[in-house]
A and B are shown apart, each in its own frame.
Chain A
Amino acid sequence: SQELEQSPQSLIVQEGKNLTINCTSSKTLYGLYWYKQKYGEGLIFLMMLQKGGEEKSHEKITAKLDEKKQQSSLHITASQPSHAGIYLCGADSLGNFNKFYFGSGTKLNVKP
């Protein structure tokens, strides 16, 4: 089965600081998705990456997929309290594209 490992598991940063969350796959990724979840609430789609070397940005969040398509990073610039939550990476299964896997998530707290 597809395995997605996220690091760090949790992160506390001072407001205004930059941070990076990583997602590593045991297998080559076809599509890698980033979601954000506010504690106890639903998931909000952030970005999807498909091509090796691809990079996408939305406001202060940038996501990258490495050339080998096995690792993705999510970078937040000048963090704000509104960035707090759980960040999850997700991916389609290579063997069965109707199955979907998530990493265990990274809990982010931003101190004002």
Chain B
Amino acid sequence: EAQVTQNPRYLITVTGKKLTVTCSQNMNHEYMSWYRQDPGLGLRQIYYSMNVEVTDKGDVPEGYKVSRKEKRNFPLILESPSPNQTSLYFCASSFKTGRTDTQYFGPGTRLTVL
């Protein structure tokens, strides 16, 4: 089944404890992206990747790191999480970079930073 998977789905952690949220897609998509969703603010793009080893910042990259060493995986790293990073995170992928291509979303990771 074609899908985008994220792990973990739920995570409660404490300030400063490094964490990684994994994202994997099995559709051979070139483009992958991370978003965070907050009440009243909608989804905002954190980072995106056009292909292996090619990543760039979205609108809210502060406090996050990403890497794209394999085409299928795009982990999101929070090296020193803070409470303002409590949010619902979504990973997405699409077949190609550029316009007019539909993104497919993972189920989301609900992160709470105490």
A residues with a Cβ closer than 8 A to B are 1, 30-31, 33, 35, 40-45, 48, 50, 88, 90, 92, 97-105
6 cross-chain pairs, A with B, having the tightest CB-CB distances, nearest first: A104-B42, A102-B43, A43-B105, A42-B105, A42-B107, A97-B99
Task: State A44–B106 Cα separation when bound (angstroms).
Answer: 10
Whether B40 lies near A42 (C-beta < 8 A) is: no
Cβ of B73 under 8 Å from chain A: no
Interface CB pairs A-B, < 8 A, 18: A31-B100, A35-B105, A42-B106, A42-B107, A43-B92, A45-B103, A48-B102, A50-B100, A88-B42, A90-B43, A92-B100, A97-B97, A98-B31, A98-B50, A98-B97, A99-B58, A100-B58, A100-B103
Among B42, B44, B100, contact of A30 (Cβ-Cβ < 8 Å): B100
